[in-house]
Each structure stands twice: as C-alpha cells, then as structure tokens.
C-alpha cells in the first residue's frame, strides 16, 4: 500500500471510501490503484496521477492488490502485465469478480500486441507503455477509464431506480421523469379517485396507452379486475357477445352462458383500445351503455348494471373523425370527460435509459441470463437518443433492446473470459440505429445532439445533453477554462505573467490552472 511518508503522496483528507459508497465517481475524488512491481515505474506513475488530483494507492503484487480491492472502492486500477505472483490479465479477471464497476487499464513494457490482447480480453479497456509516460496518451487513457467508471455508476443508479419502480405501486411500468411523463403521472393521480368518470387516453402507436390505463386502475384502489380489449380486433358480428356476453342458446354455437367484458370489469376497469376504429353501428350500442350504466346480454331479457370505469384509447384524431362523419360526436362527448395525452418517445428522450433498463431487467429474468446483462455503453445511449422513434415509439425501443440483448448474451457465451459483466455495446445495435447516431433524423433531436456553437468561438461536445447535470456542468466548465486560458496566452504572446494579469489572477494560481488543464507553453516559460 502507498507509503504515508512518501514524498510523492499528496495529503488525503479522508481514506478511500469503503466499497459500496453511494457517491458516484463524478461526485468525489477519483481513486486509483496502481499495481506495479518496479519501484521506479511505480513512483513515476503515482506522481503523474497525484499531479492530476487523484487519490492513489500502490501495490507491488497481485495478492496485495486483491486485498486492497476487497477493502476499498477504487474507480480505476492500473495493472502491470508481468507481476511476481500472477499475470496481469489473471488479476483483472479476479478483481472484476470483486468489483464489477471498477475499470482496468493495462501497463505494458514489452510492446507485444499479444500482451495488449490478453489484458483487454480479460476486461481492461485500454493499455499504455510504461516506458513512454511523457506524452499525453497516458493521461488520455486514464481519463477514458474514469469517464467509463462515471458512466457505469450512472447506469447502476438507473438500474436501482428501475428496480425500485418495478417493485409495484400504481406507477409500476411507467418509467421516466421527463416533464411530459411527470405530467402524465399527475393526470393519473387526478383522475384515479373518480372511479365513475370515463377517461380517454390519446397517444401515438406504441407509446404505452395500456400501461397508463393499468396505472389508472391500480391507483383507483378498486377491487375489480382490469380488463383490456382492442375493439378493432372484434368482428362486427361478435361485438355484442364479446362486450355484453350471451346466454346459452342465444345463437348457434352458444353452448353455455358467457360473461362479456363489461360484466368481467364490474367494480374494476374496462379498457377499450383503438376506439377510433369502432364501426358507427357499434358506437351507438356503446353509447347506450354509457348513458344508462347498464347492458343486456345477447339472448337475455334482464338488464345488468355496469359498476366499473370505462377507459378508452386511440391514436386517431377523434375530432377530425367526427367532422368526417366517422365517429359520433355524442359518444366523443361521453368518453372524453378526462383526457390524458401520452407524449411520443421523441419528446422525452431523457427517459430512454429508464425504459431500456426496465426491458433489460425483464429479459434477464425471462431468459434466465447468468450472468445478467448489467450495463450499457455510452455510445448506445447516444444512438438510441438520436433515433427517430415516431413510427412505433416505446414498442420499437423494446424490440431494439431485445435484439441488442440477444447479441450481447450470445457474445458473452462465446467469450467466457468476459462473462463476469455483460454489456450491451454499440456493435450490438441494429444497423439503422448505429447509423442514426451519426445523422439524427428527428430535427428536434438533431438540434439538441449536435455541437452547440457559442459566440466565444468554441463548441460544446455533441453528447453533452446525454450526460447528467453535474457531469455536463463539469465538461462545460473545463471546456470554458481551457479555451479561456488558451485565448489569454495567445493574446499575450504566451507571457504567463501578462496572461495572469489579464485574468485578474496571481501568477502561481494561473500556472496551477494551466497545469490542471494540461496547457503547455510552445516556447520556454515566460
């Protein structure tokens, strides 16, 4: 472990947070473990990391490294390929079992491609040559590993939210906290206690109208069943029998008395989907039930009371159908007492990770995946959030995730050395999704996902809006500081004293800022 009296060890206010710390990597000091048996290389790497503000521990053997990993929560571990007691790739395999979220970077001094392949096959995301630490590649590789850990932390946070949401409650299955989805949930809370009031759910195909109807039912607290029916699929000749039931002998083949959907949904909720496709002749029969709150079975003589709630849904413009004479205005008046508008997926792309992880968790259970799919690469989120989902919305997203999960699971089964953590990668997506990331087809998404130019003459990263608020803020601040310092240096002919004065900063503080941003002076220091 790091010598507390080492001249290269920066003071650490607290010890490394214990394993399982609730703080993600983006909200605490990055902790790095260096596993290197050569003392000189160990000191150089440690010093370079400390200069960047990281907390660093060191280990000279695989055994010592595994003990430290058991005790501490490291964000990144740098692993030498040739250790006294174990090969580097073997250490990576064992350590990933202990801490699946930790990221690994290989250290090599041999320049042998086989070494790099072994390390990366075991789970290292990259490697560097310890004899060439002067260039920026070392810091680039470490920063990439830190960024990957941040994404893994955020993915784990999303999974916990999905797990919590899927455990039950009225809103189980309604994932996302975008403003439009929060509005839908508010509407559900408003209408659910009024069990006698019909509800009309409007939204595009595949947006989840039945899930919203089910949420209304659960939030109502009624004791009856939730009964769902797509009225467009009922043959016109069987409509009355399906909805109102029939008596034995009411028609040829009616060998026994059968309850209709209205009776099955008494004291509960009857959900009629695709109401806009209901033929005019059947619309009148439905209207009569809503007006009288009772119905008569086919072949029956006594009316039966309907004591449930009717929820209808459609992706059609019912007012336009009324104008065209294809939908009864009086029926529309009865069913649209309360209207809930479900947004399309394009207008709530920030909810895509929550929806995707819900589908992944369901697939893990249904397919009995061992190990389960546990994470999604950042490039996948960018592709998903750049795609135009107007055609089938959430239904299409579910199909895409299913296809990607199949490829990820199949790849993991063929490569057991990577089987401790299964991830959905960009290469697992369908071709049209991979292309969508490069050229968004939705104008609104294209505007939000492309680089945002500013009057200062620089652009924010294209994936800025896919990050969490804190990570996005950190990226913007670092981008600004880097461009600002570089601009002042150029304006003052790289005279650090003059540039610091222009920034209204003390020269030592300005130099520290330059070092933190890794900004070098082309000529000698001024």
Q: At what angle do helices 137-166 and 39-51 cross, to 10 degrees?
A: 70
In degrees rounded to 5, what are phi and psi of residue 206?
80, 10
Arch. (CATH architecture) of 193-341: 3-Layer(aba) Sandwich (3.40)
d(CA 235, CA 46): 75
**Residues 94 and 64 sit within 8 Å (Cβ to Cβ):** no
Between 3.30.530.20, 2.60.120.260, 1.10.8.60, 3.40.50.2000, what CATH number should domain 346-448 receive? Answer: 1.10.8.60
**Residues 69 and 95 sit within 8 Å (Cβ to Cβ):** yes
Question: Beta-strand (E) ranges in 237-330?
Answer: 245-246, 258-259, 269-273, 294-295, 304-305, 309-314
- CATH class assigned to 451-526: mainly alpha
d(CA 232, CA 213): 18
d(CA 465, CA 381): 11
d(CA 386, CA 398): 16
* 3-class secondary structure, 494: coil
Angstrom CA distances, 275 to 167, 316, 317, 321, 395, stand at: 31, 9, 11, 11, 20
* pLDDT per residue of the chain (526 residues) written in tens, 0 to 9: 444 333 333 333 333 333 334 444 445 578 999 999 999 889 999 999 998 889 999 999 999 999 999 888 899 999 998 899 999 889 998 898 888 888 999 887 766 677 777 887 788 888 888 877 766 778 888 988 888 888 777 766 666 665 555 455 677 778 887 888 889 998 999 999 988 899 999 999 999 999 999 999 999 989 999 999 999 999 988 899 999 998 888 777 778 889 999 999 999 999 999 999 999 999 999 999 999 999 999 988 899 999 999 999 999 999 999 999 999 999 999 999 999 999 999 999 888 988 998 899 889 889 988 888 888 888 898 899 889 998 789 999 999 999 999 999 888 887 655 556 688 989 999 988 877 555 544 444 444 433 443 433 445 555 555 556 666 676 777 778 888 888 888 777 788 888 888 888 888 778 888 887 778 876 443 4
**Residues 96 and 46 sit within 8 Å (Cβ to Cβ):** no
Report whether CATH 3.40.50.2300 matches the domain 25-163.
Answer: yes
In degrees rounded to 5, what are phi and psi of residue 301?
-115, -25
Max intra-chain CA distance, the chain: 102
Residue 226 Ramachandran class (φ > 0 left, ψ -120 to 50 alpha, else beta): beta
d(CA 3, CA 105): 22
Beta carbons within 8 Å of 452's beta carbon, 6+ residues apart: 459, 460, 464
Of the CA atoms within 13 Å of residue 11, those in its CB half-sphere come to 1
**Residues 74 and 34 sit within 8 Å (Cβ to Cβ):** no
| CA quadruple 61, 4, 515, 526: dihedral sign | negative
Question: How many helices (H) and strands (E) are present in the chain, helices listed first?
Answer: 20, 16
Task: Give the residue extent of every domain in the chain.
Answer: 25-163, 193-341, 346-448, 451-526
The separation between CA 269 and the C-alpha centre of its own chain, rounded to angstroms, equals: 32
Query: Is 346-448 in the same CATH topology as 193-341?
Result: no
pLDDT value at residue 274: 95
**Residues 338 and 200 sit within 8 Å (Cβ to Cβ):** yes
């Amino acid at each position: 472990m790091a010598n507390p009296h080492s001249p290269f060890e920066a003071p650490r206010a607290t010890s490394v947070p214990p394993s399982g710390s609730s703080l993600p990597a983006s909200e605490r000091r990055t902790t790095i473990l260096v596993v290197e048996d050569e003392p000189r290389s160990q000191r150089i790497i440690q010093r370079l990391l400390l200069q960047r503000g990281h907390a660093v521990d060191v280990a000279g053997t695989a055994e010592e490294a595994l003990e430290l990993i058991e005790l501490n929560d490291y964000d990144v571990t740098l692993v030498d390929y040739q250790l006294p007691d174990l090969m580097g790739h073997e250490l990576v395999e064992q350590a990933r079992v202990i801490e699946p979220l930790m990221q690994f970077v290989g250290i090599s001094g041999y320049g042998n491609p086989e070494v790099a392949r072994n390390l990366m096959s075991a789970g290292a995301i990259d490697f560097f040559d310890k004899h060439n630490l002067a260039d920026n590649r070392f810091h680039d590789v470490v920063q990439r590993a830190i960024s990957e850990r941040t994404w893994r932390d955020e993915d784990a946070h999303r999974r916990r939210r999905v797990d919590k949401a899927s455990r039950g409650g009225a809103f189980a299955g309604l994932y996302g906290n975008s403003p439009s989805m929060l509005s839908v949930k508010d509407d559900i809370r408003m209408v659910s206690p009024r069990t006698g009031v019909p509800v009309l759910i409007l939204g595009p195909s595949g947006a989840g109208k039945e899930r919203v109807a089910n949420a209304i039912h659960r939030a109502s607290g009624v004791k009856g069943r939730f009964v769902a029916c797509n009225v467009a699929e009922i043959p016109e000749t069987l409509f009355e029998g399906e909805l109102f039931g029939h008596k034995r002998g009411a028609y040829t083949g009616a060998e026994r008395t059968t309850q209709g959907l209205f009776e099955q949904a008494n004291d509960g909720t009857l959900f009629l989907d695709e109401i806009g496709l209901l033929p005019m002749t059947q619309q009148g029969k439905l209207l009569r039930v809503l007006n009288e709150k009772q119905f008569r079975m086919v072949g029956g003589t006594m009316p039966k009371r309907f004591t449930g709630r009717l929820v209808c849904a459609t992706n059609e413009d019912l007012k336009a159908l009324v104008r065209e004479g294809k939908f009864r205005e009086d029926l529309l008046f009865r069913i649209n007492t309360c209207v809930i508008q479900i947004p399309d997926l394009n207008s709530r792309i920030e909810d895509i990770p929550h929806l995707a992880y819900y589908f992944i968790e369901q697939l893990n259970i249904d397919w009995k995946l061992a190990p389960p799919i546990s994470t999604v690469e950042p490039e996948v989120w960018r592709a998903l959030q750049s795609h135009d989902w107007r055609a089938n919305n959430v239904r299409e997203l579910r199909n895409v995730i299913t296809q990607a999960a199949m490829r990820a699971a199949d790849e993991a089964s063929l490569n057991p050395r990577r089987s401790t953590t299964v991830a959905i990668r960009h290469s697992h997506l369908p071709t049209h999704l991979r292309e969508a990331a490069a050229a968004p087809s939705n104008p609104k998404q294209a505007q939000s996902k492309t680089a945002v130019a500013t009057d200062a003459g620089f652009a924010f990263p294209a994936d800025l809006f896919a990050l969490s608020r804190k990570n996005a803020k950190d990226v913007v601040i670092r981008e600004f500081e880097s461009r600002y310092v570089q601009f002042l240096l150029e304006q003052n002919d790289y005279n650090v004293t003059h540039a610091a004065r222009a920034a209204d900063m003390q020269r030592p503080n300005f130099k520290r800022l330059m070092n933190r941003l890794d900004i070098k002076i082309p000529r000698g220091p001024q």
